[in-house]
Structure 1
């Protein structure tokens, strides 16, 4: 995809690209250069309706295919994405700032995840039989829902689409995808690859737009399920819209993930791991390490090592080799990060490194470490979504556990400990995922549901297929009634 082709992005509905938009145009800005990368006309309610209609019309033919054939077609597309992983990573870099090497690693991981999730359809019990008395039986048949919607955030444009689509498509559903208006360029290319890989028309549809298009999708009477990843406020609106129509939603929302570091672990090695969890993708990950609680016995060594590690995260355009820390997605997001840091310092936190916006073009913010933080500060309460590592010292593991649980969020948590009793205690944290001694661990069979304000709806492995299908019971008695003689 060349620059000329990217200048005006188009919807992809029923196997065809939309006509060039007239009237209002939205811009995609390269956050490293502050220059416009692409423009597109936002989808109207009519465009959304056309996309949903195309998905609904394609559903019956797609669902009628044997499961193995659907899986094969998904795998062909996944292979095409893998072949173009470098190109897609460059597009992600230009539209939201992620360094190319980082983006490519996540895309390649997402391709593997897509193939694994789709392959689970081969063993998923779409039909189960339960025997009853008098030779009667009940067949539990799980039907695809029909037309569904996936609304993705800007921080992982390609991986978030791939993560949602495997179970939906393999189960026999068709999909309308609405990417964030901040980073739709790589998603457009993803759909071009799907079309070239032979996905049937209408099975995958793409509408471009902002919250208005997302609301039209969530409120559409023919959209049977909405898979949404994004902010808590928008997630509540999506849940209300789908609930009003008695339709389903799977919501993965914000996070303020804690990290609990026990006495006895290697403070330097742990600091290196925490730096990665706090700063990778410039901290723009729902499960970034945003609250750090370290045991007082190793706090000084840990903080010293964390500061030293943060200073190795060099700022730069993610297209340039050697860049570790790209820009934030836009000026609005950088303002949020700066406000959180300034608020903490104003309230008594100590700025150990970073914290100052560099004098250069682009929406950059350095890797930042704060100490002497407490729960009165925004940086310990609200989602920062930036490269900031606030560190609080605790006297005991139990104190750290209690403070880690003090949040309205419950997406994930990470614990570093060599104490088996402390591992057992960590399982009680109110989070959808708890990682012990390795951030972002887990395999394709993992399933979870976010807690508290971080969302609702179990996802992963069988749970994703349960959400993507509707069970119906067919009770069969072996003999039909006979008239009495």
Structure 2
């Protein structure tokens, strides 16, 4: 839970273990800083290996009773939590703003989407085949005829894995927790969550709301901490699946740890998402859409538009409109309703963005908008448009994770696709075209998701798996339930042998 200390105006955060709020056992103190003011906002002690042990034990103790509930009852619990979250969306969005900078209006919009997503994911459990029957030959054949006995069947029963772990990033504290938990909990697993140490406050409040709705103790457990805490969780022998969202390096460590003990991992890692813009589209409308995809949440989205390839026939109009759109992203504290572009999460992230822009300029790129750190408190960086970029620059090869739109001009849609495919990342891509042949070609991009003419579109039945360094493990729709369960085959003969025959 979080406890406000009036003398310091700081929140002191605790772990949730087996239904009880506890002080973490670590010795260090981590301070969460409001990135708009650079003032301390919250603090906590990172969880130790002992904290992780207790959380996993609490989850393990609660799991049999949770799994014994009907699927419909588990879904009811999740719906009740979702409704409570919706009623507190403004409060959660404000906490996100204060811990990582997201403007409150933007945060509320994403939280509303996450609530709907949680309900949709939970509802999928009502039709998921936890038990399905396969009929026909398959058992040992009759020794006299060589055929399978008449009437035999095989039941495929999908069991929950047990205790699972979710490790979330700092850029969407509420959204990423809700996106992972629906299938895990609805399938009968219990969960230990470790949020990013850079933005844990909203997650703590999210778990307070879960407890208030009557979710059974131990079904959800929360351990605060840093990379050391995360390592203790991913290496724990009783954790059967780790759902991790974060950097490529940390994801490799998670995959190594789970692979060593033959447990599962679902990894969504970095992205360097391309945009390919065909000659026949409206350059002004497309530029406005790209500005949103590049600058929303200050570019701190794994699927932000970070590489833009525009056809030379519309390039001038597109760039002019993109520069104009960048000017509409007002920089400021996200608590101010007028703010569209909040700060970056901290000084380290802003330094990365500044370094990428400076590298591009040094190598010949031109700054058309933004491109300089404003002289004010807070970790702000303006919406920035670069032209004259090439694929050797950091802004085109490494994850910038900031409000930077680098634009490269291409002579054909085919060239744009080819350059879009040249990356070690493969999370998502967006194309703007009305040409059916070009749409078909775009579908072959080596990424998990291809959006055509609408960034971030897609319903609850969507499933995908990141490619290359962007992760592994299919997720979404049925794939999420497949990952959250273990199939077992039960072969049933037509009749048991009769004694004495």
* Short-chain TM bin: over 0.9
> Deviation per CA, 1:14-51, whole angstroms, max 9, x where unpaired?
00000376732100000000000000010000000000
Q: Partner of 1:161 in structure 2? A: 177
> Deviation per CA, 1:46-102, whole angstroms, max 9, x where unpaired?
000000000011000000000000000010011000000000000000000000000
Whether the aligned pair in 1 keeps the contact of 2:25 and 2:47 (CA below 8 Å) is no
Deviation at 1:481, TM superposition (A): 2.5
Which of residues 35, 46, 49 in structure 2 aligns to 1:45?
49
Which of residues 285, 295, 300 in structure 2 aligns to 1:269?
285
Whether the aligned pair in 2 keeps the contact of 1:67 and 1:121 (CA below 8 Å) is yes
User: TM-score scaled to structure 2, two decimals?
Assistant: 0.96
Q: Partner of 1:307 in structure 2? A: 323
Which of residues 310, 335, 341 in structure 2 aligns to 1:294?
310
Deviation at 1:135, TM superposition (A): 1.1
Deviation at 1:7, TM superposition (A): 1.8
Aligned to 1:279, the other structure's residue is in SS state: helix
Whether the aligned pair in 1 keeps the contact of 2:275 and 2:305 (CA below 8 Å) is yes
Whether the aligned pair in 2 keeps the contact of 1:260 and 1:416 (CA below 8 Å) is yes
Map 1:289-438 → 2, pairs under 5 A: 289-438=305-454
Distance 1:483 1:181 in 2: 64
> Deviation per CA, 1:337-366, whole angstroms, max 9, x where unpaired?
000000000000011111100000000000
Q: Partner of 1:132 in structure 2? A: 136
The answer as to 2:114 corresponding to 1:110 is yes
The answer as to 2:471 corresponding to 1:467 is no
Q: Partner of 1:231 in structure 2? A: 247
Distance 1:473 1:463 in 2: 19
Whether the aligned pair in 2 keeps the contact of 1:349 and 1:373 (CA below 8 Å) is yes
> Deviation per CA, 1:109-150, whole angstroms, max 9, x where unpaired?
000000000010000000000012321100000000000000
> Deviation per CA, 1:169-220, whole angstroms, max 9, x where unpaired?
0000000000000000000000000000001000000000000010001000
Aligned to 1:135, the other structure's residue is in SS state: coil
RMSD: 1.1
Whether the aligned pair in 1 keeps the contact of 2:46 and 2:224 (CA below 8 Å) is yes
Q: Partner of 2:144 in structure 1? A: none
The answer as to 2:33 corresponding to 1:29 is yes
The answer as to 2:102 corresponding to 1:98 is yes
Distance 1:479 1:153 in 2: 54
Distance 2:390 2:453 in 1: 25
Distance 1:106 1:435 in 2: 19
User: TM-score scaled to structure 1, two decimals?
Assistant: 0.99
Aligned CA distance change for structure 1 residues 22 and 173 (closer, same or farther; 3 Å): closer
Deviation at 1:484, TM superposition (A): 6.7
The answer as to 2:84 corresponding to 1:68 is no
Map 1:181-196 → 2, pairs under 5 A: 181-196=197-212
Q: Partner of 2:493 in structure 1? A: 477
Whether the aligned pair in 2 keeps the contact of 1:98 and 1:281 (CA below 8 Å) is yes
Which of residues 244, 255, 258 in structure 1 aligns to 2:260?
244
Distance 2:69 2:500 in 1: 45
Distance 1:128 1:27 in 2: 50
Aligned to 1:280, the other structure's residue is in SS state: helix
Deviation at 1:2, TM superposition (A): 7.3
Deviation at 1:483, TM superposition (A): 6.0
Aligned to 2:458, the other structure's residue is in SS state: coil
- Give the 4+ runs in structure 1 shifted more than 4 A: 482-485
Q: Partner of 1:198 in structure 2? A: 214
Q: Partner of 2:92 in structure 1? A: 88
Distance 1:22 1:463 in 2: 37
Deviation at 1:299, TM superposition (A): 0.1
> Deviation per CA, 1:214-233, whole angstroms, max 9, x where unpaired?
00010000000000000000
